[in-house]
Structure 1
Amino acid sequence: MLRLKQATSSAILFFLVVSGYSGGLNSTFRDNTSNLEVYQRTLKLMGSRFDLTVVAENQKKGDEYLDMAISEISRIEKIISSWDSQSQTSAINRNAGVSPVKVDSELFQLIERALKISKLTQGAFDISYASMDRIWKFDGSVTEMPQAEVIKQSVSKVGYQNIILNHKEQTVFLKNKGMKIGFGAIGKGYAADKAKKLLVKHGVTSGIINASGDLNAWGTQPDGKDWMVAIVNPLNKSKVFSWLPIKDQAVVTSGNYEKYIILNGERYTHIIDPRTGYPSKGILSATIFTKNAELADALATSIFVMGVETGLDFVNQLKGVECIIVDENNKIITSKNIALKEIETQSR
């Protein structure tokens, strides 16, 4: 069994099963019944851990495909990184309140899709969250509730409505000085989708791009079996709630149970509602299943902000989207079309 990601502040809550295969930084598994092999590489990209898996006929092809995926992810990072002063995203942020910035069509369309999701979620998802003042810290230094006015002020520059797109000129303009956009809640999912698309174009019939919990899988294992993921108990990662097969599907799990503070007996976690400035409450983990990781990435964040009831109702209205929520009482709640396999109570 290959564990896809080590526990972090937003730990992935599933495992991937590859029959007879135990992965490493550069790993290979051959299925004797087919002439195909699983090739896997683990490395740091976009500031996060990526696990890349492809099925190929030999080492040369496997390495070629993995290198191709890495190059594509690195290309995307140069476009969307807000840390790179040379990126188009940084140029947009520098010119907030000053002037529109002309960008490549790829970035323009990504921002356009992000704004559509913002409208759909009524601001629960918002790429201008990067404008937020960091008043909440989860390192033990915050021991009392910030003042309401300070919290309100912390999100004063946040607002997707103030991101102005000019389709004719292909420009992006942030209306207010101090505004910023960031792709932390959508960028890795987008990178996973683009890497998959490129690999499929070059003939890779099966593989997985796992971008620190934003996973896009296609095809099957070399022996014809589906890739399998397990939803793990967020409070005890040696316990598995359920196994699910995935085929030509994206799966994104967000968890916020490891970074939190307790104030006045209440638990406050690190995913902040960009509309209010207050931490989200009520959910330990949210797993989204849909066709692309970009959308799943954005929706997983949105569900946290919306809460269990509103989030579940929202997902049930979306065609081709399903979710599994683990609430603050460690109870599993699923959208209407999820078919969980039998729940495991034993250690893996």
Structure 2
Amino acid sequence: MKRFVPLIIVFFVIAGFGQERKYVTVHKTQKLMGSRFDITVVAINEEIGYIHIDEAISEITRIEKLISSWNPDSETSLINKNAGIEPVKVSFELFRLIERAKKISEITEGAFDISYASMDKIWKFDGSMKNKPTEEEIKRSIAKVGHEKIILDAKDNTVFLKEKGMKISFGAIGKGYAADKVKELLVSKQVVAGIINASGDLTTWGTKASGEKWLIGIANPLSKDKIFSWLPVVESSVATSGNYER
């Protein structure tokens, strides 16, 4: 009888490895960074899935505290407060992000520029504007825009805005950056698949729990409740923009 014990143990071990692990899809929508975030992960069960979603939310909150120009305690706000006064020492992460933004400005010859934020006071995109700014107001604001006026010192990790009244903002890339950082975090924690949709800045990895490709619905701008087109994606990012909502 003793001869059969090892064989029985081996049989159960082999049988255990032969079983396919089943996954579930867990989803949560939450307002973060002033926008809607849809976070979807594929996990071995709902409990684990929601743990990973909470980790994602914590990471987005961390990034918001770093780059938000609306949070008076953020590093970005500190840079803006000291415009035309003195350089501000920042974290390596924020320094690299600003450095990257300046590089994109150079490549696009200024078509992309995080210093556009100095025009926030005269242009409102929330529907509250009643009158257009005067030509003089526009000229004064434009004079403060220019990526070449953002001075970086890589040795001391400092950022200096040359003119008083200058401001930087990550409105154009902040949500996409947050989505990428969340993906990086969850992949490092062996989350097999997911979608991070930051109000149109979307990144994916892996596949659905069923093994199928993720399907991304592009909203019809003339009827937001209808899907204009479906886009299958694998290990890809998608960015959308429109004039029908903020």
TM range (shorter): 0.7 to 0.9
| Bigger mean CA deviation after superposition, 118-127 or 227-236 | 227-236
The match for 1:42 among 29, 33, 58 is: 29
Q: How far has the Cα of 1:175 moved from its partner? A: 0.5
The match for 1:231 among 193, 218, 238 is: 218
Cα gap change, 1:182/1:136 in structure 2, threshold over 3 Å: closer, same or farther?
closer
The match for 1:95 among 59, 82, 87 is: 82
- Matches for 1:5-154 after TM superposition, within 5 Å: 35-137=22-124, 138-139=127-128, 141-142=130-131, 146-154=133-141
Q: How far has the Cα of 1:94 moved from its partner? A: 1.1
The answer to whether the 8 Å contact 1:133/1:155 transfers is no
Matched residues, percent identical?
61
Cα gap change, 1:98/1:67 in structure 2, threshold over 3 Å: closer, same or farther?
same
Q: How far has the Cα of 1:219 moved from its partner? A: 0.6
Aligned partner of 1:174 in structure 2 is 161
Q: How far has the Cα of 1:140 moved from its partner? A: 6.1
Q: How far has the Cα of 1:223 moved from its partner? A: 0.8
Question: Are 1:155 and 2:128 counterparts?
Answer: no
CA distance in 1, matches of 2:170, 2:212: 34
Cα gap change, 1:86/1:135 in structure 2, threshold over 3 Å: closer, same or farther?
closer
How many residues align? The count is 225
The answer to whether the 8 Å contact 1:34/1:223 transfers is no
Aligned partner of 1:24 in structure 2 is none
CA distance in 1, matches of 2:120, 2:27: 39
Q: How far has the Cα of 1:34 moved from its partner? A: 6.0
Aligned partner of 1:190 in structure 2 is 177
| Alignment TM-score, normalising by the size of structure 2 | 0.85
The answer to whether the 8 Å contact 1:213/1:252 transfers is yes
Gaps of 5+ in 1: 1-32, 260-348
Q: Give the AA of the match of 1:255.
A: G
Aligned partner of 1:199 in structure 2 is 186
- SS in structure 2 of the partner of residue 117 of structure 1: helix
Q: Deviations over 1:87-145 (max 9, x none)?
A: 11111111111111111110000000111111112212111111115334444623xx6
CA distance in 2, matches of 1:203, 1:50: 21
RMSD (CA atoms)? 1.8
CA distance in 2, matches of 1:186, 1:41: 22
| Alignment TM-score, normalising by the size of structure 1 | 0.61
- SS in structure 2 of the partner of residue 241 of structure 1: strand
CA distance in 1, matches of 2:123, 2:85: 29
- Matches for 1:324-339 after TM superposition, within 5 Å: none
Q: How far has the Cα of 1:184 moved from its partner? A: 1.0
Aligned partner of 1:285 in structure 2 is none
Largest Rg, 1 or 2: 2
The answer to whether the 8 Å contact 2:92/2:157 transfers is yes
The answer to whether the 8 Å contact 2:123/2:129 transfers is no
Q: Which has the higher helix share?
A: 2
CA distance in 1, matches of 2:168, 2:133: 24
Aligned partner of 2:14 in structure 1 is none
- SS in structure 1 of the partner of residue 223 of structure 2: coil
Aligned partner of 1:242 in structure 2 is 229
Q: Deviations over 1:284-313 (max 9, x none)?
A: xxxxxxxxxxxxxxxxxxxxxxxxxxxxxx
Q: How far has the Cα of 1:243 moved from its partner? A: 1.9
Aligned partner of 1:18 in structure 2 is none
Q: How far has the Cα of 1:238 moved from its partner? A: 4.4
Cα gap change, 1:50/1:129 in structure 2, threshold over 3 Å: closer, same or farther?
same
Q: Give the AA of the match of 2:109.
A: Q
- SS in structure 2 of the partner of residue 191 of structure 1: helix
